[in-house]
Amino acid sequence: MVKRTKSPDMPGFIKPQLATLRSKAPSGDQWLHEIKFDGYRVQLHINEGKAKAFTRNGLDWTKRFSVIAGAFDIPGQAIIDGEVVVVHEGRTNFSELQAELARGDQDRLLYYAFDLLWLDGKDLRKRPQIERKAMLRGLFDDHELEPPVLYSEHLEGDGDELFKHASKLNYEGIISKKADAPYRSDRNEEWLKIKAVQRGKFPVVGFIKDPTGVAALYLGKQEGKELVYMGKVGTGWSRTISSQIRKQLDTVISPKSKLTKPVKKPKAVWVEPKFFADVEYRDITSEGLLRASSFKGLSRK
CB of 125 within 8 A of CB of 181? no
Residues marked as catalytic = 36
**How deeply is 117 buried, as exposed, middle or buried, from its count of CB atoms within 10 A (0-12, 13-18, 19+)?**
buried
Spatial separation of the C-alpha atoms in residues 167 and 174, rounded to whole Å:
9
CA dihedral (223, 224, 226, 227) positive or negative: positive
CB of 231 within 8 A of CB of 95? no
**How deeply is 103 buried, as exposed, middle or buried, from its count of CB atoms within 10 A (0-12, 13-18, 19+)?**
exposed
Spatial separation of the C-alpha atoms in residues 231 and 275, rounded to whole Å:
16
CA dihedral (244, 245, 251, 253) positive or negative: negative
- With CA atoms as reference, report the closest residue to 3 among 90, 102, 121: 121
Spatial separation of the C-alpha atoms in residues 205 and 265, rounded to whole Å:
12
CA dihedral (223, 227, 231, 233) positive or negative: positive
